[in-house]
Amino acid sequence: MTSMDSTVGYAEPGLLDRERIIAKPGFNRWLVPPAALAIHLCIGMAYGFSVFWLPLSRAVSTATGKAAAVCDGPATTFWDKTAGTFGALTATNCEWSQFDLGWMYTLFFVILGVSAATWGGWLERAGPRKAGFVSALCWCGGLLISALGVHLHQLWMMWIGSGVIGGIGLGLGYISPVSTLVKWFPDRRGMATGMAIMGFGGGAMIGSPLANNLMAYFKTSTSVGVVETFIAMAVIYVVFMMGSAFSYRVPPSGWVPEGWTPPTSRSAMITSGHVHLKDAHKTPQFWLIWAVLCLNVSAGIGIIGAASPMLQETFGGRLFGDAGVGFAQFTDPQKALAAAIGAGFVGLFSLFNIAGRFFWASLSDKIGRKATYMIFMLLGLACYGSLVTLANFHALAIFAAAFCVIASMYGGGFSTVPAYLADMFGTQFVGAIHGRLLTAWSTAGIVGPVIVNYMHDTRVAGGISRDHVYDPIFYVLAALLIVGFFCNLMIRPVAEKWFMSPEEVAALQAKTKATGLVQSGSFGIDRGGFSFKALVAWLVVGIPVLWGAWITLRTALVLFG
């Protein structure tokens, strides 16, 4: 995809190369956030993959018209000693269990963190267009492989397709816009990354009802409609993701918004220098921010997975006006009603998770990243610390409100951390550094659920009343935030010895210099502000977001019915 110019003797940049996407005078930087948002809205469907579990758990029975037994379960998912086969991984005559299918969800976020850390450096060199292109191929190609896996009833193909290959697409797609947005919005770093990462939280908000509608449309007497839905979503997503990848532009080296002056105060904890990727992890600041993110996410992610059953167990019949009925005494109609209310709670939780990604990241531009994380830890501590009392007083509305605040700060932690890294380490390698930091997310994805699920199951087995099962869990999650508070408190500006020299920075930025222009100032880029073209780009992503928000809000209103 490159050609040699015999006149000047150098290779023309290829269609996907970073040098090809350097912005020219007249470009509007407000076109970049909707491109980033579109990719995140597509890959964010990873959060909503659970909508496929129930249909896939009855795929064989539907196809054959005869009831099929569930595969023998966790003991034989990987290897069935009796039959000498790979159990549910290759079995075609039994139904997959939630345990079997749930491994895809685990693979999503483990591979996301690993791939982001592994290829973050490559992304910085290759640029966001090439990374977005590869992300689209992996994520949408993974969906197609999974569709074939469903058709052949081969679980291992779904694990490899969406879990591993799709997980690589998640990692590259997640970090592809970070460095670019931080460089385009040095004056509003938090807001810029918040706009994009908000999309990852909103992906399931759009994708889940879309998947449900598609499965309902494609469902027949012999098919649950998942194969066709995977194919349709792959086609829809590849259009959005490719369009977004080819819309990316990077600013010329030395570009700054017109009229903006970079902050010079070290007390603001915003550096004007750049730390090399190979040195970032050698600093205490990297590991302190890693711990802050890990603890904040651990405190939220474990309870997210248990949000609906937690509400039902804690409040029992009070959810529908029958205070004398506990969770264990629910009749079938009451179970259905409680599940609907629980789904509304999860929907409300999701809305605040999404809104918090934009709100808190934007607020951090005003009060600073360190102060924002201080609020996360202290306000989260107050919320978790009050939940037991609120539950004892049966204050359902305030209990739900406290969890909405927790959800907003869970999302806000993700969207604020890229700006925190840019403040501490500079913008030259912020995408790659962010990729390595996402291993904190992978770790939290294990720590949080293990704490919540282990303590829950242990207390239930010990005969603890269901309305008090979560009491000590809330306090343990609050303790995680106390540790996170002190980790954040210890963060100081990075020592000067870690910053690259001006000559090293100039050599790295040589490929993105604006040919024929003075290497500073606005270059005529972004003069005039928000344009009609930018408005159209925002509508393309905004309309699906509003549709998803309406569907989710309508579900959430059941909580107050």
- pLDDT tens digits for 481-515? 999 999 999 999 999 999 999 888 888 877 665 54
DSSP bridge pairs for 275: 499
pLDDT for the residue 3: 45
Query: How far from each other are the two terminal CA atoms of the chain, in whole angstroms?
Result: 58
Counted domains in the chain: 2
CATH number at residue 144: 1.20.1250.20
**Per-residue model confidence (pLDDT) at position 418:** 93
What span, in angstroms and rounded, lies between the C-alpha atoms of 441 and 314?
28
- The letter for the amino acid at 155 is L
The verdict on residue 458 lying in a domain is yes
Does residue 522 lie in a domain region? Answer: yes
Question: Are 117 and 227 in the same domain?
Answer: yes
User: Same domain for 159 and 302?
Assistant: no
**Using CA atoms, how far apart are residues 128 and 25, in angstroms rounded to an integer?**
20
Same domain as 481, residue 351: yes
User: Do residues 62 and 193 share a domain?
Assistant: yes
Segments in the chain below pLDDT 70: 1-11, 72-86, 263-268, 511-524, 527-529, 558-561
Residue 12 lies in a domain: no
Residue 517, classed as helix, strand or coil, is coil
Work out the number of other CB atoms within 10 angstroms of the CB of residue 347: 22
Q: What's the pTM?
A: 0.85
Q: What is the per-residue pLDDT for 104?
A: 85
Domain span at residue 526? 281-501+517-561
**Could you tell me if residue 471 is inside a domain?**
yes
Residues contacting residue 368 through CB under 8 Å, at least 6 positions apart = 268, 269
- Asked, for residue 90, whether it belongs to a domain, the answer is no
Based on the fold, state whether residues 383 and 532 are members of the same structural domain.
Answer: yes
Asked if residue 377 and residue 480 are part of one domain, the reply reads: yes
Do 353 and 493 lie in a common domain?
yes
CA-CA distance, 471 to 462, in Å (whole number)? 14
Tell me phi and psi for residue 220, to 5 degrees.
Answer: -130, -175
pLDDT value of residue 517: 46
* Structure confidence at residue 521 (pLDDT): 60
The token pair at 505 is: 């920075």
On whether both 212 and 351 belong to a single domain, the answer is: no
Which of 205, 231, 250 is a domain's end point? 250
Q: Are residues 308 and 246 in the same domain?
A: no
Cα(15)–Cα(1) distance, integer angstroms: 6
* Residues 425, 280 contacting (CB under 8 angstroms): yes
The answer to the question of residue 16 being in a domain is no
Phi, psi (5° rounding) for residue 275? -100, 135
Does 191 lie in the same domain as 134?
A: yes
Token pair for 20: 């090809």
The answer on 313 and 235 residing in a single domain is no
The CA distance from 51 to 54, in Å, is: 7
In the prediction, which pLDDT does 561 show?
59
b/e burial code for range 409-443 (CB count within 10 A of at least 16 → b): bbbbbbbbbbbbbbbbbbbbbbbbbbbbbbbbbbb
Same domain, 314 and 398: yes
Distance CA 295, CA 479 (A): 10
Q: Is residue 556 part of a domain?
A: yes
For residue 212, CA distances in Å to 49, 204, 206, 215, 531 come to: 11, 11, 10, 5, 36
Q: Tell me whether residue 1 is in a domain.
A: no
**Rounded to whole angstroms, how far apart are CA atoms 314 and 392?**
9
| pLDDT given for residue 84 in this prediction | 46
